[in-house]
Amino acid sequence: MYDAALFMNDRTIWTRLEAVLRIAYFAVVVSLAITFSGPLPAIAAGNASSGAASTAAGMPSNEGKVLSTLDAPGYTYMELANTEKRFWIAAPTTRVKAGDRVRFEQSLVMKNFNSKTLNRTFDQIIFVNSATVIN
Sign of CA dihedral 74, 102, 38, 20: negative
What residue segments make up the domains of the chain, in order of their start?
Answer: 1-37, 50-133
Distances in Å between the Cα of 68 and the Cα atoms of 80, 89, 105 are 7, 11, 19
**73-94 pLDDT, tens digit each:** 999 999 999 877 899 999 999 9
CB-CB neighbours of 85 under 10 Å: 22
Q: What is the spatial distance between Cα 43 and Cα 68, in angstroms, rounded to a whole number?
A: 19
DSSP bridge partners of 91: 76
Burial class of residue 65 in the structure, from the number of CB atoms within 10 Å of its CB (0-12 exposed, 13-18 middle, 19+ buried): buried
DSSP state of 8: H
Query: Per residue, what are the HEC states of 50-115?
Result: HHHHHHCCCCCCCEEEEEEEEEECCEEEEEEEECCEEEEEEEECCCCCCCCEEEEEEEEEEEEEEE
Residue 5's pLDDT is 53
pLDDT category at 106 given cuts 50, 70, 90 is confident
Q: What is the pTM of this model?
A: 0.58
Query: Residue range 94-121: average pLDDT?
Result: 92
Percent of the chain with pLDDT over 90: 46
Question: Phi then psi for 109, rounded to 5 degrees?
Answer: -100, 130
**26-78 pLDDT, tens digit each:** 566 555 555 555 444 444 444 433 344 334 456 777 899 999 999 999 999 99
Class of domain 50-133: mainly beta
